[in-house]
Chains A and B, each alone.
Chain A
Amino acid sequence: MTGNDSQLRSAVSDARDDAMLAGEQLTLGYGDTRIIDGESLAVDPGSVTALVGPNGSGKSTLLKGLADQLAPRSGSVLLDGREVSDYDAKSLAQRLGLLSQERTSPESITVEDLVYHGRYPHRGFFDPPNDDDQRAVERALDLAGCDHLRDREVGSLSGGQKQLAWIAMALAQETDVLLLDEPTTFLDLHHQLEVLEIIETLRDESDVTVVVVLHDLEQAARLADHVVALRDGEIRARGSPESVVTEDLLADVFAVDADVTWAERGPRITPLRARHDETDEEPARQPTLEQPTD
């Protein structure tokens, strides 16, 4: 089935072998709480889409829904026009990758071994790594700029280096769509820029479609083709960075008064004060143990 699909794709098209991901009327939640209530989102092939919004706005939940890690209560997620839940686990993972915020690995695993795990969906149960796997791993290490770390143990790396190693693992998966959940959070400025440069490279030099959750609006505006702003599980604005990153949006979505000026390299946001008038409108969602903060 899956073999036929990929043969079919490569036979039919050089014109469109990149993927498109779409969530339609998605309702997502945990237990009794609804986080996302009937939102739709379409991602253009080869583009970079940034999800922004305050803590608890549902960005990570939306990303999980798109990656088939959280079954929607209603609505559907389509990858190339086909429901993600209809793909079998491995063939979905060959086409769609998610780098979640979960970072658990044994301390003593080497970076190279970690990146090789990215080839999991491409390998059969008994298959040793083949030339394709090796090429993909080399390319991923190179693209993520952690070639020099390959023999280091993950436990010995700094937070930023660890992040690059995990991104390399996701890149080795060689998917058409890559979903990144807050890849720059908790990193120093240097490593934030390293991560953003990786995404820029993907945008400019490959067909990979990227959806990335970012906390920094300026970064999102500089990086993304499309910005989607969420608040309380609702998409409040979407479109080009210029149309979304505005003073009105900062007031509406982030409850912040700010000056926004546009320079050559993107917007310059100067936060002035937190707005208190609307913040009581709805109590903050209390995440329970199993829920992520977003």
Chain B
Amino acid sequence: MSEGTAAPTRSVAWFDSSLVALCLGSLAVIVAGGLIQVSFGAYSMSIAEAWQAVLDPTVLLDPQAWRAFLLGGQLPEMGNQSLIVWNIRLPRVFVAVLVGMNLAVSGSIFQAVTRNELASPFILGVSSGAGLMILLTLVLFSGLSTFLPIIAAVGGSVAFLIVYVIAWQNGTSPVRLVLAGVIVGTVFNSLQTAMFFFADNIGVVQSAIAWTTGSLTGTDWEQVRLALPWTVLAMGLALVSSRQLNVLLLGERTAKSLGMRVETVRFALSGVAVLAAAASIAVAGIVGFVGLIVPHMVRTVVGSDYKRLVVGCLFAGPALMVVADVGARLGMQLLTGASSQIPVGIVTGLVGGPYFLYLMRRQDNLGDV
């Protein structure tokens, strides 16, 4: 009860055992999935060799190598195995981690902003705007395709702004925002589908499908470099905004009578969520279901306090994404023996749909945040 002790206890007490368990469990899954990714592939090596390459001190402790990874530039000399692990297989795992946390945290923010548990990072038009720009770039303006990641991210953000403008009428409301998202999504998706008719070869169509369903094929350090700064920024902002998210959950009127400028906070938080979603689109395309399902999974374990929820999403999102990418990269090989890969978005949908069914059967009150 004494004043000195209770306040600090309160400030760390939220990091409770269920959250710790979730984070450690997710880390274990990420490490296991990462090791599988590193060990298997066209150049096969044993688990022990893979471990050795991952922990190779000549790479791990070499500042020049890290400079090359994170800032670009000349790679130092390294062995074949180390080269394959460090330059091809590991960066793909890192990209999966970044994409997973971006999507999960983005989804959790949109679920608070729209006060709707079925919200995803793409509920306010981001995916349809990005998808349309992807198709336009691939089909009509193929000269710009080197800028595709940026164009896609910008397209998503612009679509979000259009949604906000449509929804605005002396302020917004969660319902109006979602409706405006449906309006913009419907129109842009139609245009996107129409663009497929103008594609002149199957390669362009496959590339478009890979982008619009989300794929990590061929990602390397360049994608890590592209996404990392935005991810750090968005995740940091999400973490410090958790109390705003919690108050927003008390309803607009209560939030307002507590002195929150609801419209400003709602727009700013949406902006953070769009930033995270755009960062993931730029490196992996439009990966569905992760942003919808992960906040759910985390909520069932740690409850709906956003301090815990955001931290949980930072770990659980990457876990789901890394595992799904194992399926996307190696699944076809296991099933058919063919060495082709499928877009990771197909796997997340295959995993996410049944999980949702399970949740729906188990929880009566699905839909309430």
Contacts and interface: CB of A to CB of B under 8 A. Distances in A.
Nearest to B365: A107
B249 A97 contact: no
B261 interface: yes
Nearest to A170: B257
Nearest to A92: B259
Closest CB pairs A-B (n = 7): A93-B259, A121-B259, A106-B304, A108-B303, A90-B259, A98-B257, A120-B258
Contacts of B3: 131, 134-135
Contacts of A108: 303-305
Interface in A99-144: 99-100, 102-109, 113-114, 117-118, 120-121, 125-126, 128-131, 133-135
Given A105-B250, A134-B7, 15 more contacts: A69-B253, A89-B256, A91-B259, A92-B259, A100-B253, A102-B253, A105-B251, A106-B303, A107-B304, A108-B303, A108-B305, A117-B246, A120-B259, A126-B240, A134-B3
A209 interface: no
A114 B304 CA distance: 12
Contacts, number: 82
A173 B247 CA distance: 14
Interface string B95-121: 000000000000000000001000000
A52 interface: no
A128 B7 CA distance: 9
Contacts of B260: 89, 120
Query: Is the interface on chain A under 10, 10 to 19, 20 to 34, or 35 or more residues?
Result: 35 or more
Interface in B1-53: 3, 6-7, 10-11
Given A90-B259, A108-B305, A126-B240, A102 B6 contact: no
Contacts of A94: 259
Nearest to B241: A125
A92 B259 CA distance: 7
Residue from B250, B254, B257 having most chain A Cβ neighbours under 10 A: B257
Contacts of B191: none
A67 interface: yes
Interface in B245-280: 246-247, 249-254, 256-261
9 contacts: A69-B257, A89-B260, A97-B257, A99-B257, A100-B257, A107-B365, A113-B246, A120-B259, A121-B258
B73 to A, nearest CB: 37
Contacts of A90: 259
A131 B260 CA distance: 22
B200 interface: no
A155 to B, nearest CB: 9
Interface of A: 67, 69, 89-94, 97-100, 102-109, 113-114, 117-118, 120-121, 125-126, 128-131, 133-135, 173
Given A104-B250, A108-B303, A109-B305, A129 B11 contact: yes
Contacts of A130: 7
B88 interface: no
Contact of A100 (B6, B10, B11, B254): B254
Contacts of B258: 93, 117-118, 120-121, 173
Nearest to A105: B250
Contacts of A135: 3
